Chain A
Amino acid sequence: MSSFWISCLSQFEKELPPQQFNTWIRPLRLEGEDDFANGLRLYAPNGFILKWVKERYLSRIEELGSAYFSAPVSVTLMLGERSAAPAPVLAAAKPMAATPAPVPASAHSPYAAPASLTPEKPVEKTLPHYEKTRLIPGFTFENLIVGKANDLARAASVQVAMNPGGAAYNPMFIYGGAGLGKTHLIHAIGNRIVEQNPGKVVRYVHAEDYYSDVVRAYQTKSFDAFKRYYRSLDVLLLDDVQFFNGKNRTQEEFFFVFNALIESRKQIVISCDTYPKDISGLEDRLITRFDWGLTVQIEPPEIEMRVAILKKKAELENVALDDEVAFYIAKHLRSNVRELEGALKKVLAFASFHGRKIDLELAKEALKDLIGAVNRQITVENIQKTVADYFKIKVADLYSKKRTRQIARPRQVAMWLAKNLTSQSYPAIGEAFGGRDHTTVLHAVRTIETLRTKDNELNHDVHVLLQVLKG
Chain B
Amino acid sequence: MKPMRLSLAAAAATLALVTAPGAPRAEGVLNIFNWGDYTSPELIKKFEAKYDVKVTITDYDSNDTAMAKVKAGGHGFDIVVPTSTVFAVWVKDGLLLESRPDQMENFKHMDPRWVDVPYDPGRHYSVPWQIGTTGVVVNTKVYQGDSATWGVVFDPPPELAGKINVAPEMNDILDSAIMYVGGQPCTDDKAVLKKARDVLLAAKPKWLSMNYASPDSYAKGDIAAGANCNGYTFRARLLNPDVHYAFPKEGFPIWMDNAAILKDAQNVENAKLFLNFIMDPENAAMLSAFARYANGIEGSEKYLPADMRDAPELNPPEGKGVFLHTCPPEVNEIMTRIWTEVQK
Bound pair (A, B): no
